[in-house]
Structure 1
Amino acid sequence: MLNTSSNETYEEARRQLQICNACRYCEGYCSAFPAITRLRAFADGDITQIANLCHNCRGCYYACQYTEPHEFALNLPQALAKTRTESWQAHSWPAPLGAVFQRNAVSSVFITIVAVAALMLLIRALPAASGDGFYAVLSHGAMVALFAPLFLFPLICLFVGLKRYWKDIGGERITLAHLKDAISQAATLRNLSGGHGEGCNFESQDRFSQARRHAHHAVMYGFLLCFASTSSGTLLHYGFDLPAPYGFWSLPKLLGLSGGLLMTLGCIVMLTLKAKADAALSNPETHGADQAFVGLLGFVGASGLALYGLGSTAAMPALLALHLGAVAAFFVLTPYTKMAHGFFRLAALVRDAQQRP
C-alpha cells in the first residue's frame, strides 16, 4: 500500500467523500457515486479507486448545495483531480521521470521532439538509405532500431505502474465478465454522458453538452485507428513481403489518414473546451502538463497529415523528422502524462465491476 495516510490531498478528499456519502444527492451521476455509497469509511486505496473513476465532468459540483460559500466548501472534482494525479505519480515507474514531466511539461515535450528529430537528421547524414518514400530518408532497419525501444520501454513502465495500482486498490482476479463490462464503459464513455444522459457541464454550469464526450471519442478512436494503421503496415511488411510506401486505398493509408483527422480535430476541441472550463474545478498544478500533452497528441496527428500531403516535396525529410520526433515524445512520456489515465481508468472500471453487487 502507498503511504498516503498523512497526505493532505487524501485527507481533504476523505473529508469531502464523507460529506457526499451522508448526502447522496448525486448518487446517479456517474460510476464514482455508487462506489462512494457502497462504503462506510474511506481507506487510501478506496480514495485512489474513486478518484480514477471520476471523469471530472463537474455535474456534481454544480448540483451541490455545500460548495462555497457554505462552510463545508466542497469541491469534489478538484479534490479527486488532485488525488488522481498524485496516484498516477505515486504508482509511476521510474517515479523521478513523472515528477520531471509534471514540473517541466512544455520543455519536456519540446526537448524530446528536438532530440529525436536531430538524431534522425544525423542518421540521414550517414550513407544514404535505400528504399522508396520515407525509407529513402531513413531505412526501415533504422526506424525499427530507433522506435522499438521507445515503444517497449513505456509499456514496461505502464505495466509496473498498473501492477502497483491494482495492489493498492485491492484488485482481485480479473474475469472475462469484469473486463467486458469495463471495456464497454470505456468504449462508450458512459460516465461522460451524465446521470441524465444529456452530457456533462464541463464548460458551463448552465449548459449540458456531449461535446467533451465526442472529443474524447474522436481522440481515442483516432489513436486506435493510427495504431491499427501501423499494425497493418507491419503485417504487410513482414507477413506478406509488401514494404511501404502504400497507395491511398491501402489499409495502412486509409486507417492512418482517418485516425490522424479524428485525433487532430478531437485535440483541437479538447483544448478549446479546456480554455472555456473553470480551472478551479481541476488540479491547477497539472493544467500546463495536461495542455501540453493534448497539444502533443494533436501535433502527432497534424504532422502525420502534413507529411502525407507534402510527402513528395522537398519538405518531406524535415516533416518526417518532426513527425517521428513527436511520435517518440508521445511514447516516451505516455506513462507520466494524461495518457496514463486511460490505462488507470480502465483498471478502475474493472475493479468497479468486481465490487458491484
Structure 2
Amino acid sequence: MKIAYDAKRFFHNTSGLGNYSRDLVRILAEFYPQNQYILLNKNKSELGRDILDLPNVSFVKTSDGTMSRQFKMGKDAQNVGADIFHGLSGELPLKWNKKPIKKVVTIHDLIFVRFPQYYTWFDRKIHFWKFRKAANTADRIIAISQQTKEDIIHFLKIKENKIDVVYQGCHAGFKEKPTDEFLEQVKEKFDLPDRFVLNVGTIEERKNLLNVVKALKDSGIPLVVVGSRKKKKYVKKIESEIRKNGVEVYFLQDVSMEELASVYRLADIFIYPSFFEGFGIPVIEALFSETVVITSNTSCLPEAGGPDSVYVNPDNVDDIKAKILFLWDNESERKRRVEKGLQFAQKFNDDVIAKDLMKVYEGL
C-alpha cells in the first residue's frame, strides 16, 4: 500500500499532535516496511528527520497557493498514487479529483465542545465545522480513546460502526532505563530535590495544576512541574497560591525528551488531575517510566491509567491531598502499583498500536 499523510503537525509541532504524527509514521514504517509512507507538506523541518531517513518514508512538497492544505493536498495525494490519505489531526482536505483514494481521519478529542469556556467563539465554530466535515468525509475515523469515540457519536452524530479506537503510544525514551550516571546528571542539572511529586503538561486551567498546589499546602512535599505556560492569568493564580502557602515548586524549562524520561523516573509520584483529556499521554509515559500515577476519575484517564493507578476527583483538593500523602508515606504500595502499571502499559506498545492501525488500513 501507499499511504499519504497530512504532515503539517509532523514537521511543525514539538509535542501533542506532532508526537502522535511522528510516532504513528515511525512504528508503521518499522513494523510494516512493505508499504510506502508519504509525508505531504509545504516544507520539511528538523523534526522527524530520523523518520524521513527510513527507506520506506518519503516527503512530497505540496502545491503552492492560498489554502493549499485544504484545496490541493488531497489532489496531491491522489496524483502520487496514494491508496489511502490519513489526516492526523481532525482534518481532511476539502477538494479531491476523481482518482480513487480512501480517507482516514484521527480525531483526538472534542474538548472545545465539552469545555467551550477555554476557546473563543470563532475557534469553537471553526473547529466544530472542520471536525464534522472530516468525520462525514472519511471512510474510517480513528478515535484515540473510547471516551473520544463516544464524544464523536454524541456531538458529531456519527454512526458507531464507522469509528475505530486505536490508542496512542509514547516516545521510546520512556521505555528505556537510563543509566544511574545520567539520572544523577539530570538531577544536578535541574537542581531537583531527593524526593518529589511530578506534574507534566501545559499549564492551563483544564490541566488543574492549581489544585495540586493547594493540595500540597503544609505537606512539606516538593512539586516539580514540566510544561509550557499557556495561560498567563492562570499561571499568576498558581504563583500567588505558591507564595501564599509556601509550597516548594520547581518549574523546569528546556527539558529534552531524554531528560524528561529521567525526571519521570526520579519522581516518587506522578500526578495528573486534569478535568478532561482525549487520552492523556503523560499517564502512559509515567507507567512506562515505572512511576506510580495519581490521575482523575474522569474522561479517558482511567483508560490510560488502568486498574492500579490511583484516582481522584479533580475538583476535590482534600481528595488529591489524601491520595498524595497515602502514596508518599507507603513505599511498598508505590512499588506494587508500579509493577502492575508497567504490566498494564504493555497494551500501548508500538507493535500493538501498529497492528491496530494496519487493520484499519487493510480493512479499506
Normalised TM-score (structure 1): 0.27
More strand by share: 2
More helix by share: 1
Higher relative contact order (CA 8 A, sep 6+): 1
